[in-house]
A and B are shown apart, each in its own frame.
Chain A
Amino acid sequence: MKLNERSVAYYASCDSPTDKTGYLHKKGERNTAYHRRWFVLKGNLFFYFEEKDSRDPIGVIILEGCTVELCESSEEYAFAIKFENVKSRTYKMAAESQGEMESWVKALSRASFDYMRIVVKELEKQLEEMQQNRVSGRKSHRKLLRKQAINPHSASQISHSFSLSYGTPVKENGYVTWNTTQDQTIDTELNGKAHATNDNSDISKYSTDQAPERPLHTQRLPPPLPPRRRSGTGGVTSGIGGLMLTQDSNTAAGTFSFTRLHELFGRDVIQLRRQWQENKFRNDGGSQLDQMV
């Protein structure tokens, strides 16, 4: 399979924002020694260079459909990048300090395109809802719900006018440009392969307790509006704070919960810390545990 490698290499070194850089030790594929390399994380691409001042990367790891976990190793501060796809290689890495290891694990586990997309969609939705509140001039929560139920067109009109006044990247109709059933048909017919439908088990990808059923990045349905809850003062609680995993007749298979997804992300990090703490405790013979914030 061809890849636009020159341009990918250009992307690695150009001045677009980097998310994290630093030295890491990477275990070779055939030569199983660990090599010290300069790593640059940009978006969902994890580049490695021979040296910090090398012009071109030696290689890149595409970070979609992977998990990042601690691993057993002769090296200290070791972690691994594992892919759901069984045929894909596992990358074993070692950081140079505890802090660096934690920092890399955190940065890499949230590097996927899908993660960024989820956050963007959530903020986009929040902003649209605020605009609706402003335009309608009504603070009443019940009235807002009724308005949305009766006149779904107003949402698209508002976000359209919003995008005009702000000149922003808000989508014209306020909705995700993902194609759903239309694309599935195309894929099935032209590719000769049937794709499985999405279900709520996408979120289980990020849980270390369950075997992932389907990668989150294949979730193609935009998250539907969450049910609202009144707070004690009668105001509207934030859509996210009040989210529950519910199914109703309007939502497609699987209701997306942003809070839950974040809990699951956080849980991974907490578990990793706990694992390390236990290991350290054992190795130190019960000496003082570091206070980890």
Chain B
Amino acid sequence: MRYNEKELLCLSKQPAEKAAELTMRGPKRNDAAKSRLVKLVVNFLFYFRIDEEEPVGALLLEQCRIQKEDDTGFSLAFVDEPERKYSFVCENKDECEEWIDALTKASYEYMRQSLIFYRHEIKKITGKDPLEQYGISEETRFQPRS
């Protein structure tokens, strides 16, 4: 599948929502645990070898599941391949919980659901759709879907 790699590369260099050196292990059985700079930018998780400018790889954070794995670790797996897990180990429990929280809320779909929720709640209180005044209430992306 083709994708605009140069743009993804550019994205990886933007300031991150969250970044830290974590121990990361790939999903294959032979993959060893390695120290990586892990960086969250919009709905992508980039991982770099320490002190390298370009990431080793990127993970799109849609249709994925984050799970706590013991005190300082978590795993990331995708819905279409749930047994293939990317594992991460953090410095401490707090850092681990922050990452789990950040990654769980990193997807575009999560944001969309939040928006639909807030919109509904505001309308319940005020009786008015808060998006109307910006002329965006009919946009497809803001509509609830079954």
Contact = CB atoms under 8 A, between A and B. Distances in A.
Interface residues of A, number: 78
A84 to B, nearest CB: 8
A26 B6 CA distance: 19
B90 to A, nearest CB: 14
Contact of B108 (A2, A43, A89): A43
Of B8, B19, B37, B62, the most chain A CB neighbours within 10 A belong to B62
Nearest to A195: B15
Contacts of B48: 191
Contact of A1 (B54, B102, B110, B115): B54
Interface in A250-266: 258-259, 262, 266
Given A19-B141, A43-B112, A127-B122, A87 B16 contact: no
Contacts of A119: 115, 131, 136, 142
A186 B20 contact: yes
Contact of B115 (A120, A187, A240): A120
Interface stretch (A5-13, A139-147, A272-280): A5-13
Contacts of B119: 123
A117 B111 contact: yes
A179 B99 CA distance: 12
A61 interface: yes
A267 interface: no
A262 B134 contact: yes
Interface stretch (A92-100, A213-221, A225-233): A213-221
B50 interface: yes
Contact of B81 (A6, A113, A217): A6
Interface of chain A, helix or strand or loop or mixed? mixed
A102 interface: no
B70 interface: no
A245 interface: no
Contacts, number: 224
Contacts of A184: 15
A21 to B, nearest CB: 10
Contact of A7 (B7, B60, B98, B111): B60
Given A1-B9, A44-B43, A192 B19 contact: no
A199 interface: no
Nearest to B77: A7
A59 B2 contact: yes
A61 B3 contact: yes
Given A1-B55, A59-B3, A107 B140 contact: yes
B57 A120 contact: no
A211 interface: no
Interface in B105-119: 105, 108-115, 117-119
Closest 4 CB pairs of A and B: A59-B2, A2-B57, A43-B108, A123-B118
Interface of B: 1-21, 37, 39, 41-43, 48, 50-51, 53-60, 62-64, 78-81, 98, 101-102, 105, 108-115, 117-119, 121-122, 125-126, 130-131, 133-136, 139-142, 145
